[in-house]
Amino acid sequence: MGHEKSLDKSNYEVEVIAPEVCKACALCVKRCPMDAIQLKFSPEATNKFRKAVEIDTELCIGCGVCVHKCKTKAITLKRKEEITRPPKTGRELVQLNAMAALAAKEELTEKN
Ligand code: SF4
Ligand code: SF4
């Protein structure tokens, strides 16, 4: 069996559990293969930059690299509550419908 690099999502995602201990060192940001982490202003941050990490859970694949890198344990891996979930907002629903319509159109074009 090969060792292909997989970007499939795992059943885990990262959660910021302690923004107050984040040092804004950006080690996790640099190591994230998905660019899913950003340092942003946070009222809870205690470092001189007044920033703490924010995770884009849509991008996070749950690889755990950032958690391993974080010495202060500001972030952790948690199991996703739902692996598949219904759309949360009307906007998301519109996006999904638009994607489905586009896919159907492409399928039709391929057939003709
Ligand atoms: S678990 Fe992996 S993909 Fe998710 S934020 Fe951390 S490094 Fe990025
Ligand atoms: S979460 Fe951890 S590794 Fe990431 S910036 Fe904060 S202290 Fe550094």
Burial class (CB in 10 A: 0-12, 13-18, 19+), 18: middle
* Domain 12-81 part of CATH 3.40.50.300: no
User: Which residues line ligand 2 at a C-beta cut-off of 6 Å?
Assistant: 22-28, 53, 69-70, 72, 74-75
Tell me the pTM. 0.70
Residue type at position 57? T
Ranges of each domain in the chain: 12-81, 86-112
Least confident of 14-18, 31-35, 68-72, 97-101: 97-101
Instruction: Tell me the mean pLDDT in the region 27-49.
Output: 97
Rounded to whole angstroms, the Cα distance separating 109 from 101 reads: 12
Segment 79-108, tens digit of pLDDT: 987 655 566 677 777 777 777 777 777 666
Tell how far the Cα of 59 is from the centroid of ligand 2, in angstroms. Answer: 18
In the chain, which ranges are E strands? 12-16, 37-41, 51-55, 75-79
